[in-house]
Amino acid sequence: MDNLINFIETAIQEGKFAKVREEIIQLNVVDIAQLLDDLDEEKTLVIFRLLPKEISVEIFSYISTEQQQFIIESITDKEIKHILDNLFMDDTVDILEELPANVVKKVLKNASEDKRKLINQFLQYPDDSAGSLMTIEYVDLKKEMTVKQAIERIQKTGVDKETIDICYVMNNYRKLEGIIHLRTLILSDSNIIVADIMDTNFISCDTHMDQEEVGNLFRKYGLLAMPVVDKENRLVGIITFDDIIDIIEQENTEDFQVMAAMEPSETEYLKTDVKTLAKNRVVWLLILMISATFTGGIIKKYESILASVVILASYIPMLMDSAGNAGSQSSTMIIRGLALGDIQLRDLSKVIWKEFRIGIIIGITMALVNTARIYILDGVGIWVGLTVSISLFITIVLAKVVGGSLPMIAKKLRLDPAIMAGPMITTIVDAVALLVYFRLATFILGL
Amino acid sequence: MDNLINFIETAIQEGKFAKVREEIIQLNVVDIAQLLDDLDEEKTLVIFRLLPKEISVEIFSYISTEQQQFIIESITDKEIKHILDNLFMDDTVDILEELPANVVKKVLKNASEDKRKLINQFLQYPDDSAGSLMTIEYVDLKKEMTVKQAIERIQKTGVDKETIDICYVMNNYRKLEGIIHLRTLILSDSNIIVADIMDTNFISCDTHMDQEEVGNLFRKYGLLAMPVVDKENRLVGIITFDDIIDIIEQENTEDFQVMAAMEPSETEYLKTDVKTLAKNRVVWLLILMISATFTGGIIKKYESILASVVILASYIPMLMDSAGNAGSQSSTMIIRGLALGDIQLRDLSKVIWKEFRIGIIIGITMALVNTARIYILDGVGIWVGLTVSISLFITIVLAKVVGGSLPMIAKKLRLDPAIMAGPMITTIVDAVALLVYFRLATFILGL
């Protein structure tokens, strides 16, 4: 790749444009876009104009927002119109959402009245909704068509469509009556009527469905595309599988970030500046730091115990870490199950009962190992050992139940369950662990 | 759904099979399989035999392993043969991988010699490899065919293929020379030669590519299917997008689990028994507990300091939690970036430098807020406050650098980077935090 970049930079400087074109045109459009990412904007513009128009339009939807902006600001109105006419609606909307207002204005100026209305309507769908993912370039058929007529219509209109692998059968009021795979059409006799072979039992969604749910439907049913309909069951757009893989990874990235106590961000790590990364992280760190004051307060309250049996302090990290880890395990399983739809809110009591039993098994195991370790390695008194091990057992059981239930309670309160992951759970169960520990110490050691 | 189950159970008991069939046949096969999950095995078998054979074969690949086993043990050799003949190879292999040996034997007994050989070959591909995902039901074309001939071949052979949306153009030695979308064929003039419109610059993989990498290629290039080739570039199978969405979520689930210190498992939470769940979690908890001994040891070593300034103990939870959280944030970002291919091993120094600067910004912010908090709320001496805040600053910077670099070092050592997530990072940076804290206390407070 680095060699290719050097070659292209030199060739452009030397004006050997035919060679540049020849070299680049062999690549996949995704790879071309990646290549342009490493070139400066002037050279990107040169290449953008060197390539055949149908390829450059496709590349345009893959390059960075900065480069899109530079290109739009540099090209003529006619060129902008050409891009607009050839981009799919979903890509158009994605691009416009990121660009600054004055650039969007320049773009929309070149759109026809109808198209501008449509774009504005699409821009209004919420960011994470099915509406923001869909596009309008689909093939529409009528149910009274024969297979032959349907294929002819596909051949006539298909070239501008995002997909022709699935076609949509509508009545005169644009109500969706069925879908049909191109596969079915090709493999059927040409005189058969579309209505007789179309699939009327299809999966669809409305414009407001959350994209995570859309992704789960694609996964569950192995869909290639999904129709989006309005309340009257009129087809307003389709969502295709290639966008869904991106969405699924985006949703997962978001969960990973929230679960590690960060503001979610869609930008790649290496492409995000230090200030933004710091800003995304510091808020939750501060919240959790302040919350830990509470845990510190517990230690302060029992200061006298620590002062008389200082050795107790040395078990605090082990207790806190074990509690946090045990709780995080449970909350991770539940958050993941909720995200994939494997766990429903009505399963709350099942989850609590399951985590309680898991907690008992793990708690006993860990308490036993811990007792052995203390006995062999530390050589502390039996009562201190007992205090630590019983605390560990109780803490683990509580951590499991708390870790399992908090994500579900968060979801019930319409919060993101992923908030109730490791960091938050750790802060909560740390306090619980210390309380249990000092209470038991007071009791067992008679302090 | 519950109503439907009741209806079906009653109808089967009353022998109203036609009604059951009529009701079920309207559903999507995925939903039928889900429905069967809630019925006992006898009733599943009844429904399995009631449905048209092409539907029951499809359902067979969706139901649970237990039910598959029961059905195979209950049906005739002829029925098994029918299933085998109509299942796609990838589903066959998936099913056989889960079934007990004696059941597999019963199945293979009904396969032809050739098919048995092929199945055994497929069963040998490693579990997470491209080989284990691929199937062999693809359409093969020749490059000298016209579009018309190609479509005729698709019509003749397509019905048994997993996909006909993409076809594979091979030479006489089964070497893959190009791929062509059905879309391209349908939209092209019928006299054009396939060689002139096929895509020779396609993305492919070999049988040993890891499934995570396969998923990343599908995502990057928006693929519908990918050819799998051997060393001589001969086509051995294809992977289709519907399997990939599952794989992507599976890989993500695995990362979530490993990052929360659990053994990864593919079984859904609610379908896993308590003993297995406990077993998957306890090993890492024990390892981390034992590791925390080290952290406890540090406290023990500085016992005399704690004994003389007991208030220092009350800041330990805040310090430990902040360090752990700060480190987990960084490691999560890096683990995710590595998984998606956004971060490469060669970026190590970039990452360290970035995390260092983020650490400085966050460290200063947190130290300032902490100083204010201690000053306003706790009313401790200025030197204790200074000790805590400077420790916090140093700890955050170190945690960021450690959290950012350990996942990359793990990957360099060919370990799963996800191991270096929250729990492990917390254990490591906790020790660092305490060391810094006590050293500073000794120095600043002159203990």
Q: Which two tokens stand for residue B73?
A: 């043990």
Nearest chain A residue to B357, by CA? A274
Coil vs helix vs strand at A166: strand
- A to B CB pairs, distance under 8 Å: 351
Partners of A324 on chain B (C-beta within 8 Å) are: 324, 423, 426
**B207 near B130, Cβ under 8 Å?**
yes
pTM over 0.95: no
Partners of B322 on chain A (C-beta within 8 Å) are: 285, 288-289, 292
**Taking CB atoms and an 8 Å limit, are A186 and B154 in contact across chains?**
yes
**Taking CB atoms and an 8 Å limit, are B249 and A248 in contact across chains?**
yes
d(CA B266, CA A336): 12
**Min CA distance, B238 vs chain A (Å)?**
16
Coil vs helix vs strand at A144: coil
Nearest chain A residue to B263, by CA? A329
pLDDT of amino acid A144: 93
**Taking CB atoms and an 8 Å limit, are A343 and B270 in contact across chains?**
yes
**A288 near A419, Cβ under 8 Å?**
no
Nearest beta carbon to residue B186 from set A164, A373, A434: A164
Partners of A224 on chain B (C-beta within 8 Å) are: 165, 224, 241-242
**Min CA distance, A398 vs chain B (Å)?**
15
Coil vs helix vs strand at B368: helix
Partners of B307 on chain A (C-beta within 8 Å) are: 307, 310
d(CA B22, CA B33): 16
B109-131 tens-digit pLDDT = 888 888 888 888 888 898 889 99
CB atoms within 10 A of CB B189: 9
Residues paired with residue B181 on neighbouring β-strands, in sequence order? B166
Partners of B163 on chain A (C-beta within 8 Å) are: 183
Nearest chain B residue to A263, by CA? B329
d(CA B37, CA B40): 8
How many CA atoms are closer than 13 Å to the CA of B291, on its beta-carbon side? 20
Nearest beta carbon to residue B248 from set A248, A296, A315: A248
d(CA B145, CA B140): 11
**Taking CB atoms and an 8 Å limit, are A220 and B151 in contact across chains?**
no
Partners of A186 on chain B (C-beta within 8 Å) are: 151, 154-155, 158, 164, 182, 186
**Taking CB atoms and an 8 Å limit, are A366 and B289 in contact across chains?**
yes
**Contacts (Cβ under 8 Å, ≥6 apart) of B271:** none
Domains and CATH numbers, chain B: 2-124 (1.25.60.10), 140-240 (3.10.580.10), 269-444 (1.10.357.20)
Instruction: For chain A, 447 residues long, give each residue's pLDDT as a single digit of tens.
Output: 678 888 888 888 888 888 888 888 888 888 888 888 888 888 888 888 888 888 888 888 888 888 888 888 888 888 888 888 888 888 888 888 888 888 888 888 888 888 888 888 888 898 889 998 999 999 999 999 999 999 999 999 988 888 999 999 999 888 999 999 999 999 999 999 999 999 998 999 999 999 989 998 998 898 999 999 998 899 999 999 988 988 888 888 888 888 888 888 888 888 888 888 888 888 888 888 888 888 888 888 888 887 777 788 888 888 988 999 999 999 999 998 998 888 889 999 999 999 999 999 999 999 999 888 888 877 777 888 888 999 999 999 999 999 999 999 999 998 888 888 878 888 889 889 999 998 998 888 877
d(CA B429, CA B325): 10
Nearest beta carbon to residue A277 from set B255, B326, B358: B358
**Taking CB atoms and an 8 Å limit, are A317 and B292 in contact across chains?**
yes
